[in-house]
Amino acid sequence: MKKLFDPWQIKTVKIKNRICFPPVVCYAWGTEDGYVTQENVEHYRKVAKGQTGLIIQEATCVDRNGKLAANQLGIWEDGQIKGLSEIADAVHKEGCPIFIQIHHAGVSGLDGELACPSDYSFYKDGVKKAGKEMTIEEIHKVQQEFTDAAVRAWKAGYDGVELHGCHQYLMCEFFNRWVNRRQDAYGEHRERFAVEILRAIKEKVPEDFVVGIRLGGFEPRLEDGVRHARVLEKEGIDFIDVSYGFSGEDDPKAPADFPYEKCIYAAAQIKRAVSVPVFAVNGITDPEMAQDILERTDVDMIDIARGIIVNHNWARDAMEGRDTGKCLHCRRCLWCENPDTCTGRKILEKNLQRKKEFIDNL
């Protein structure tokens, strides 16, 4: 599994292997004011200590009115910088770089008048969400919030930011022509919302500060995802982390003989179309699978979320040939609600204890 453990770098950021812990929100630790808690700091410290090559911190909101959950981490005011810097410092002390994902929920937000490029409604988790078409002034306000958030991330000591451009949230709503039905420039050129944010951030941060994006591979179809990736590459995006876009308003497809998730196929196709680093994610459960995807698709980085949730030492154990543990794919991720209830983690801990007792009794 040589490629999985090959070092590489994005700009000046050195990464020890091809294993990335992608953004996963833990709802048990947050506060309504969006400030970092000690549980957040220790969580990312443990992930870094487990020899993960790169961490991308969970979706961190640029606007208190754009949250996906009441207790989501925030980066909308300067007072939040201190707590965020504690996360960055803890991770760096373990020899791991960290980016932070900056986010606005858009029509997938909590309640009230939700932001959306066009008038739009849908059901999310059984709840009707209704968005009102944003004015040009509202668009520019949110773009400025993304830019200010990136500057705060730089001040807090992060190595870069990842724009959240998928998963039914605001930026992906602009990308998707089945959601974004505007009749102005932001509808004619659906990448414009993200491109203008990217340009503004690049003007405000040092040249070596990384700016990437989590992008829907099917937005709504693969050819759209590829086109978005090419436009962003021309505008100077530093990496593209490919996932699903606006689920329910997309058309994900892959060849019948492709053995992995459709969005991994999308990542492979986007990698063929651009020269910037591309990440693949979804359903990657073990080191052998990760290695095969790297070889089969030629992507640069593998996102391991569930595996590292179960086992902070996933990367170290994979490198040293030990059992990395197993996510049980519970219907609702128990870790996200309360990490102490994660069944996969409990089983791994029990197995490790049994092994220790066996060795002690030899």
Catalytic one among 44, 158, 169, 260? 169
Distances (CA, A) of 249 to 177, 184, 254: 9, 21, 17
Nearest Cα to 243, choosing from 198, 197, 303, 189? 303
Residue 127: partners with Cβ closer than 8 Å, 6 or more residues away: none
Give per-residue burial for 16-44: e unless 16+ CB within 10 Å, then b.
Answer: bbbbbbbbbbbeebbeeebbbbeebbebb
What is the three-class DSSP state of 15? strand
Tell me which residue of 213, 166, 201, 182 sits closest to 68, measured CA to CA: 166
Q: Output Rg (C-alpha) for the chain, integer angstroms.
A: 20
Whole-angstrom distance, CA of residue 362 vs CA of residue 360: 6
Tally of CB atoms within 10 A around 192: 18
Give the span between the Cα atoms of 225 and 216, in whole angstroms: 6
Region of 51 on the Ramachandran plot (φ > 0 left; ψ -120 to 50 alpha; else beta): left
Alpha helices (H) along 68-220: 81-93, 136-156, 170-175, 185-188, 192-204
For residue 49, give the 3-state DSSP assignment: helix
Length of the chain: 362
Pairing of strands 19-21, 54-61: parallel
Query: Which DSSP category does 5 fall into?
Result: G
Tell me if residue 158 is catalytic. no
Q: Which helix (H) or strand (E) holds 297?
A: helix 287-297
Q: Are strands 54-61 and 114-116 parallel, antiparallel or unpaired?
A: unpaired
Catalytic residues: 169
